[in-house]
Amino acid sequence: MIIAVFPGQGSQTPGFLSPWLELPGARERLEGYAERAQVDLVAAGTEWDADRIRDTRVAQPLIVAAGLLSWHALQDAASTPVGGVAGHSVGEIAALVAAGVLTDDDGMRLVGLRGRAMADAAAAEQTGMSAILGGDAADVLARLQSLDLTPANYNGGGQIVAAGALPALAELADQPVAGSRVIPLQVAGAFHTRYMAPAVDVLRAAAAELSPADPTTTLWTNADGSVVPDGRTALDLLVAQVASPVRWDLCMESFATAGVDGVVELAPAGTLTGLVKRALRGTPTVAVKTPDDIAAAVTLLKGASA
């Protein structure tokens, strides 16, 4: 089984969409996505600098649009289907589209709203996120609890992302758990925590107006790493997960249980394949960063079906 995965916020870099716009029809597709998300995604993906594309309102639709552009390119090139899909954080919207739960248009409208709602929630208080690499997991969680910080992402491979008030994150960095490193993340707020509750309310109202279809392929959820049985459940979990931890560690455990033979990460790729290499050692991976990487992904798919 080859699994396609979609990365989350922070994976974008300036100009990363430029090579994708050389594909036939890609610019027109991206312009349509931009209209739905209410963000100039062509300029954001080709011209804007790192600070500008770090804005949550921009980053989230930009990442999902990139995932969908590369997904469609892979679908056009490959005759062998993937065995399942999953997304990390905002990447779950791209995964729902890839699984047939949402249309491209509904996915881009939803991610545009998600970015705006989460940015508004983040502006209410000064919060942030920091990655903790290494250290005993129990000690890390105890330390976060003592600082009133939330373990927002369980990424596996010895990585937990803490979220909460900036002074508490600064204290964590000054006095890290033994054997760990603390890396502040360039995000605008404490995502996947109680601070995002207002955004959940906004998204829940919008999701109620959508008509999700049931998944056409295996779809895993960040909520607990389980397979999602139907489209409405998938959408409800995606909405609630905005204020709940990302359990990517459990997703990877489920991949292993399902007998994963390889993982293809769609653009802007690299982060999730890195986690897979640490947590699922020996599993072949392809990071589709540019259109030149599509051929390697197709080869991996063909090899698994042989």
Catalytic site residues? 89, 192
| Selection from 135, 128, 129 nearest residue 161 by Cα | 129
Give the Cα separation of 176 and 183 in Å (integer).
Answer: 10
What are residue 285's DSSP bridge partners? Answer: 263
Main-chain phi, psi angles of 218, to 5 degrees: -60, 130
Instruction: Kindly give the pairing relationship between strand 2-6 and strand 262-265.
Output: parallel
Main-chain phi, psi angles of 102, to 5 degrees: -120, 155
E strand map for the chain:
2-6, 84-87, 127-134, 150-156, 159-165, 180-184, 218-219, 262-265, 285-287
* The 150-156 sheet, strands edge to edge: 150-156, 159-165, 127-134, 180-184
Tokens of 241: 């997960």
* The 84-87 sheet, strands edge to edge: 218-219, 84-87, 2-6, 262-265, 285-287
Give the Cα separation of 302 and 80 in Å (integer).
Answer: 6
Burial class (CB in 10 A: 0-12, 13-18, 19+), 239: buried
Tokens of 302: 């063909």
